[in-house]
Amino acid sequence: MEKRNQLYEGKAKKVFATDNDGLLIVSYKDDATAFNGLKKGTIAGKGVINNKMSNLLMQMLEKKGVKTHFVKELSDRETVVKKVSILPLEVIIRNISAGSFSKRYGVEEGIVFEEPTFEFSYKNDKLGDPLLNEYHVVALKLATKDEINTIKNYAFKINELLKEFWLECGVTLVDFKLEFGRLGDGSIVLADEISPDTCRLWDSKTGEKLDKDRFRRDMGGVEDAYAEIMKRLLNHI
């Protein structure tokens, strides 16, 4: 398979066409942004970690019956994925209060929910990714009711699988963001990435943050946190 022209450059990844119409190559960058691109920086080695971590987790999920875009890891930073049309939705599951949930509802971080929460936001930088309910998603024709159901079922299942996996690594899965895409035949698959950029991961014993919040909140030790979380994953797999 041959790499062709760049199709897109996002905040954390570039996407390239290939000589196979159904396949793309994603290339993970070390660039980091937060607050809708307002804060910019670099996390050295992040691209390598996010590529490997996302691929390992997606392969684990595939084995448990979750369809994903993953095809094959090409190199440290590059992966072949199925071409999908990404639904402009951020699908967020929370097990513990943190981040925008705490801010929006005026509650402390760290409240363990009896049941996970599910939310959509509209992936639209200009609008600042506003929260959407299911009726809004249908009204805006971002996804059909059937697709919403599929996404919800996948998201809760992925939460259970990831929660268990991270727990075995001594890590608490606080919350995370997923993106889904449509394949050519219309079926829904998990796309984008699962990484410390897109999950909140706390050390189960100490509560230490091992994710991008260290960058968002200028806490320092960002590279070390990414290296530590990767080490935990590799020790477990």
Among 2, 5, 37, 141, binds ligand ASP (CB under 6 A): 37
Copy the structure tokens of residue 207: 């509560």
List, in order, residues 6 or more apart from 97 with CB less than 8 Å away: 105, 107, 108, 109, 110, 111, 113
Among 36, 133, 153, 235, binds ligand ASP (CB under 6 A): 36
Among 148, 199, 222, 225, binds ligand TMP (CB under 6 A): 199
Partner that binds at residue 33, options ligand ASP, ligand TMP, none, CB closer than 5 to 8 Å by kind: ligand ASP
The CB-of-116 to ligand TMP minimum distance in angstroms stands at 12
Say whether 131 sits in a helix, a strand or coil: strand
Residue linked to tokens 């968002």: 216
Which residue in 20, 153, 10 sits closest to 83, CA to CA?
A: 20
Residue 51, interface with ligand TMP (CB under 6 A)? no
Which residues of the chain form beta strands (DSSP E)? 3-9, 13-18, 23-28, 31-34, 39-42, 70-73, 78-82, 85-86, 89-96, 112-122, 131-132, 171-182, 188-191, 199-203
- Check: CB of residue 123 under 8 Å from CB of residue 90: yes
Q: Which is nearer to ligand TMP, 89 or 98 (CB)?
A: 98
Say whether 5 sits in a helix, a strand or coil: strand
Q: Which is nearer to ligand TMP, 40 or 72 (CB)?
A: 40
Residues 74-103 that bind ligand TMP (CB under 6 A): 92, 98-101
The CB-of-153 to ligand ASP minimum distance in angstroms stands at 25
Residues 174-193 that bind ligand TMP (CB under 6 A): 175-177
Residue 23, interface with ligand ASP (CB under 6 A)? no
Residues 203-222 that bind ligand TMP (CB under 6 A): none
Pairwise CA distance, residues 73 & 183, whole Å: 20
Copy the structure tokens of residue 3: 């790499």
- Angstrom CA distances, 62 to 20, 173, 191, stand at 22, 19, 12
Residues 90-129 vs ligand ASP: string with x where CB under 6 A?
Answer: ----------------------------------------
Partner that binds at residue 216, options ligand TMP, ligand ASP, none, CB closer than 5 to 8 Å by kind: ligand ASP
The residues with which 144 forms a beta bridge, in sequence order, are none
Partner that binds at residue 123, options ligand TMP, ligand ASP, none, CB closer than 5 to 8 Å by kind: none
Q: Which is nearer to ligand TMP, 10 or 184 (CB)?
A: 10
Partner that binds at residue 179, options ligand TMP, ligand ASP, none, CB closer than 5 to 8 Å by kind: none
Pairwise CA distance, residues 143 & 88, whole Å: 9
Applying CB under 6 A, the residues found at the interface with ligand TMP are 92, 98-101, 175-177, 197-200
